[in-house]
Structure 1
Amino acid sequence: MTTYDAHFRVWRGDSDGGDLKDFTVAVHDGEVVLDIVHRLQATQTPDLAVRWNCKAGKCGSCSAEINGRPRLLCMTRMSVFARDETVTITPLRAFPVIRDLVTDVSFNYAKAREIPSFVPPAGLEPGEYRMKQEDVARSQEFRKCIECFLCQDTCHVVRDHEENKNAFAGPRFLMRVAELDMHPLDAAEETGLDRKRTAQDEHGLGYCNITKCCTEVCPEQIRITDNALIPLKERAVDRKYDPLVWLGNKIGRRKG
């Protein structure tokens, strides 16, 4: 087994402030950054705070920024860095720091609660739902999300503009709206809920300018921008500005 010493800079601090601290740590073949963090805890900084759980890229807990890029600590192999490269680990920049590498991501859970859930069709019992395979496949991509919130962290609408957070759900939850809006069994409109309108008016879809930064950092390779956000934008624009759709809605309301 090959072993070498690597130079790390790790952010230490809390909500009152902090700074980067330098460490030299032994690295073994095949290790990931989370292994190094654990070795730091075991040998040099036992009070280093880091959030993790599965170490298999499926729980989304160990989100952080490595050399300025949002990544999962457990899925970032040390082999992607040169041996003489300094590896800098910092907490997610878009969210308040609790301590060291642990951030307060409760913003995301608050946004999740704002998204109306799936509305089952009237008269259908669980087990009676039927969908075409192509419709299943379309929404299944979005269900791969592990809620690591890397897309939320890298989205500059959230990251660089604190004032936008009240009005903008972020890519993870706009993707959820898109998934429900394209679901063939979702009966939201029958209850008066227009997901396209709420995406625009209540969840800030218009703030997204499709830079695809969310797609670039997704560890599940979900094509958030191309397959969720852009189609949702197109449907929202059609609903709001297409004159034929507008006329159809007017006629429908009059008949009602």
Structure 2
Amino acid sequence: MGYQAHFRVWRGADDGELRDYTVEVNEGEVVLDIIHRLQATQCPDLAVRWNCKAGKCGSCSAEINGRPRLMCMTRMSTFDRSDTITVTPMRTFPLVKDLVTDVSYNYEKAREVPAFQPPAGLEPGEYRMQQVDVQRSQEFRKCIECFLCQNVCHVIRDHDDNKHAYSGPRFLMRVAELDMHPLDEAERRPEEAKEDHGLGLCNITKCCTDVCPENIHITDNALIPLKERVADRRYDPILGLFRRKKE
């Protein structure tokens, strides 16, 4: 049975405001359904980004009652009927209009991560890996690039001047994934993570893991092990001997 819900939705650009709406809610609906109904019945000019409505494209990221979430995966049944539900755009990225933000920062950082470098002479289809090596990085391939982890990371959320030097958890996770790959021949990935992607700025608060809709253990399985490998290569005396011998 349907009911009327009270929504507060951000309207406008940086000089916009939260506006109040009463919208019909039906059983089984998610927040994105209500935003679409608001668009169809009251606000035809409401800007919102979405695509699959199945939690796999990452397009409908927003902040719902202050928590970064996918609108299509946030069920209305998780709220009390008397609650006021506040929907605002991701705060870390420049606001375009209403619930749409400019996430181009993330694509710029993606281009800065060197691609997978297979052994010379090894063609696609000839790769051979142990299943345990496949499984180590398989978790990170679940990323849908919703950028909620980037949005909630306070290193860039609260310090805009860090953006030029810090790639954020999504792309540090990408570096970690490639560094774990037994066939990747790029030798300096841990060093690049520190020098080029700002790994040292991450203070492992696990807020990125907390908001990941795919339940990827970004901090425990990617960032902390990557930090450990950086420390090993820089400070381990045995590795230092091998490195000097190689040079």
TM tier relative to shorter chain: over 0.9
Post-superposition shift, 1:242?
Answer: 1.3
Letter in 2 for 1:226: D
Aligned match of 1:213 in 207, 212, 220? 207
Give the 4+ runs in structure 1 shifted more than 3 A: none
1:116 aligns with 2:117: no
Post-superposition shift, 1:101?
Answer: 0.1
1:148 equivalent in structure 2: 146
Matched residue of 1:220: which SS? Answer: coil
Aligned match of 1:242 in 222, 236, 240? 236
Whole-angstrom CA distance in 2 between matches of 1:155 and 1:126: 36
Whole-angstrom CA distance in 2 between matches of 1:110 and 1:241: 31
1:171 equivalent in structure 2: 169
Identify unmatched segments of 5+ residues in structure 2.
none
| Aligned ranges 1:181-196 → 2 under 5 Å | 181-189=179-187, 194-196=188-190
2:12 equivalent in structure 1: 13
Post-superposition shift, 1:150?
Answer: 0.2
| Aligned ranges 1:19-38 → 2 under 5 Å | 19-38=17-36
C-alpha distance after superposition, 1:169-211 (max 9, x if no partner) = 000000000000010010112xxxx001010011000000100
Post-superposition shift, 1:247?
Answer: 1.9
Kindly report the root-mean-square deviation, in angstroms, between the aligned alpha carbons of the 2 structures. 0.6
Letter in 2 for 1:232: L
TM-score, L = length of structure 2: 0.99
Whole-angstrom CA distance in 2 between matches of 1:11 and 1:198: 39
Post-superposition shift, 1:72?
Answer: 0.3
Post-superposition shift, 1:105?
Answer: 0.1
Letter in 2 for 1:13: G
Letter in 1 for 2:238: L
Post-superposition shift, 1:42?
Answer: 0.6
Post-superposition shift, 1:116?
Answer: 0.2
Matched residue of 1:141: which SS? Answer: helix
C-alpha distance after superposition, 1:122-163 (max 9, x if no partner) = 121111100011111111110000000000000000100001
Post-superposition shift, 1:243?
Answer: 1.7
Whole-angstrom CA distance in 2 between matches of 1:178 and 1:135: 13
Whole-angstrom CA distance in 1 between matches of 2:124 and 2:193: 27
Identify unmatched segments of 5+ residues in structure 1.
none
1:203 aligns with 2:197: yes
Letter in 1 for 2:81: R
Post-superposition shift, 1:234?
Answer: 0.2
| Aligned ranges 1:44-83 → 2 under 5 Å | 44-83=42-81
2:129 equivalent in structure 1: 131
C-alpha distance after superposition, 1:76-133 (max 9, x if no partner) = 0001111101000000000000000000000000000000000011121111100011
C-alpha distance after superposition, 1:38-57 (max 9, x if no partner) = 00001100100000000000
Matched residue of 1:188: which SS? Answer: coil
Whole-angstrom CA distance in 2 between matches of 1:53 and 1:36: 15
Post-superposition shift, 1:245?
Answer: 1.4
1:224 equivalent in structure 2: 218
